[in-house]
A and B are shown apart, each in its own frame.
Chain A
Amino acid sequence: MRRTRTGPRDLSREPEPQQPGRILDARLHLLDRQVLDIDDLPVCTLDDLELEVAGGEPADRVPAEDGRIDGSVPVVISALLTGPVLGTRVFGGRPPASRWYRLPWAHVSDVGTVVHLSVRSAGLDATWLERWTRDHVVGRIPGGTHDPEGSG
């Protein structure tokens, strides 16, 4: 798992030792990037990250923007968050953990200009609204499943 530094840099502390692999800046390389599934279908935008104190209890889970993890302890990213958590990044506050849509970090296969997942979006909680809209609104309109590239 990659370690990620969050919050403002504290110049008084020692620089982090060189890590093997790529160094990712959470704000620059992860937050607000498009998330694609294994078939390159858009899943969501990466709205927030769930951090866990390395080796700590799951109870320590906090969204990255919450600010309670201040950089004094090493943390790991345990999941990508999306959904209502976006509102708290715009307006502040903290949603109950039951309202988070979590995409476990283990599903992440690559981080580039987009974040790639190694699973299909169809089975994810994060896309239930997409499926609901498809099944109850758009799919019911005639021609909803017509492939525009097929026959024109």
Chain B
Amino acid sequence: MKSRLLTVALGILTAIGGFLDAGDLVTNAVVGSRFGLSLAWVVGVGVVGICVFAHMSGKVAAVSGRATFEIIRERLGPRTAGLNLVASLAVTVLTLIAEVGGIALALQLASSVDHRLWVPVAALAVWLVLWRVKFDVMENVTGLLGLALVGFAVAVFLLGPDWGDLGAQLVPQVPAQESAAVYWYFAIALFGAAMTPYEVFFFSSGGVEDRWTVRDLATSRLNVLVGFPLGGLLSVAIAACAALVLLPAGIQVDSMSQLTLPVAQAGGTLLVAVVIVGLVAATFGAALETALSTGYTLSQYLGWSWGKFRRPAAAPRFHLAMILALVVAIGVLMTNVDPIAVTEYSVVFSAVALPLTYLPILVVANDPEYMGEHVNGRAMNVLGTVYLFVLVVAALAAIPLMIATEAGG
């Protein structure tokens, strides 16, 4: 038996390590190299948002045993939920492509073997874990190894910046060389990267996989409220690294290797090696989460048997859906598409799919039939409603801004 303290510590550490995915890594580095820290406030806004809704969906899963997409179907009906399914699946598969591409790029950094050769290997490894490994082992190992990304925070200190100068960058302002439209386009991208819909699908379904009950609510709340903000700090550290080294040099991030340039300058080969371990673990963990999320959303909408806690033979269509998603990911990456570009698009599209995902969670979290005495308190509802409003604004603005700014070009 693990002691309770150890369980809590493990949960928090995996939440930190599991918070970052390829979308966060790339978007933060791109933003840091172009806008310094003037968009760091968006990470803060996004982290509070994901805390609110991840906690809410986890609470619904723990109390009622129902995962998020079952609730979306039940509340929105087959038509609207079907629309949401199509949008969410598109975004989740796009994210999966980006993550598998991210693993391959990180492995290329470590091995100098072309990333296209790594793609099938990475996808096969992801599938083997989905097929074989116990849910909590999978979650803990990728989460803990993802902690190696703390290397970015270490690099910020080693770079020995003028802290006053860096602090002054935190003030939200559009830099002179960038237009306001581009600034807001990247604000939405950062927001979308922090609040991607697959995170709540995974979080709530994971609650069912881990057989959460009401007694686990306190632990889950602590994991989210401590782990996610610390993960957000890591995001800002990545942006800070880029702001300190790449921004003054006028380097724009368009490859994974540029992500590690500041780290190499600060800590040499050793720190780069540590960070690459973190990059592989973070993208690998997110690839697992997105692959599972495609299975979860489809199975929960159509009422199939799902879950890693079952034998694959007891949830065959769930496993088949994940296999197909991975095959699609390999196919798309083999067309020589740039994984970094896929990542940038996926975070913007996820901003569009967000409101339809988060509205039903908010509604059901207030339904006594599901929640009994655990319905939302007033503060939670106010926060949830405010975020829903922000999500709708971001969703409406995302596509026009993308077209107007030529995707931030």
**What residues of chain A have their CB less than 8 Å away from a CB belonging to chain B?**
31-35, 41-47, 82, 86, 89-90, 113-114, 129-130, 133-134, 137-139, 141, 143-149, 152
CB pair A149–B132 under 8 Å, yes or no, is no
Main secondary structure of the interface of B (DSSP, over half): helix
Inter-chain CA distance A151–B70, complex, in Å, is 30
CB pair A144–B313 under 8 Å, yes or no, is yes
Inter-chain CA distance A33–B319, complex, in Å, is 22
Chain A residues whose C-beta falls within 8 Å of the C-beta of B319 in the assembled complex: 138
Given contacts A138-B313, A144-B311, contact A113 B66 (CB under 8 A): yes
- Measured CB to CB, the nearest residue on chain A to B70 is A34
Given contacts A130-B316, A138-B313, A149-B309, contact A45 B301 (CB under 8 A): yes
Q: What is the CB-to-nearest-CB distance from A10 to chain B, in angstroms, rounded to a whole number?
A: 22
CB pair B303–A35 under 8 Å, yes or no, is yes
Given contacts A34-B303, A148-B309, contact A113 B370 (CB under 8 A): yes
CB pair A44–B134 under 8 Å, yes or no, is no
- Measured CB to CB, the nearest residue on chain A to B312 is A144
CB pair A43–B303 under 8 Å, yes or no, is yes
Q: What is the CB-to-nearest-CB distance from B46 to chain A, in angstroms, rounded to a whole number?
A: 31
CB pair A134–B302 under 8 Å, yes or no, is no
CB pair A42–B316 under 8 Å, yes or no, is no
- Measured CB to CB, the nearest residue on chain A to B135 is A148
Inter-chain CA distance A114–B67, complex, in Å, is 12
Q: Identify A42's interface contact among B73, B134, B305, B313, CB under 8 A.
A: B305
Total interface residues on B, CB under 8 Å, equals: 38
- Measured CB to CB, the nearest residue on chain B to A48 is B78
B408 contacts chain A at the CB level, 8 A cutoff: no
CB pair B134–A134 under 8 Å, yes or no, is no
Chain A residues whose C-beta falls within 8 Å of the C-beta of B77 in the assembled complex: 31-32, 89
CB pair A138–B132 under 8 Å, yes or no, is no
CB pair A90–B79 under 8 Å, yes or no, is yes
Scan residues 250-303 of chain B and give those whose CB is less than 8 A from a CB of chain A. Answer: 299-303
B373 contacts chain A at the CB level, 8 A cutoff: no
Q: A137-B320, A138-B312, A138-B320 are in contact. List 13 more A-B contacts (CB 8 A).
A: A32-B78, A34-B74, A42-B303, A44-B304, A45-B302, A89-B78, A133-B320, A134-B316, A138-B316, A139-B316, A145-B311, A148-B311, A149-B134
B133 contacts chain A at the CB level, 8 A cutoff: yes
Given contacts A34-B66, A143-B312, A148-B311, contact A42 B304 (CB under 8 A): yes
CB pair A146–B132 under 8 Å, yes or no, is yes
- Measured CB to CB, the nearest residue on chain A to B364 is A113
Inter-chain CA distance A47–B65, complex, in Å, is 20
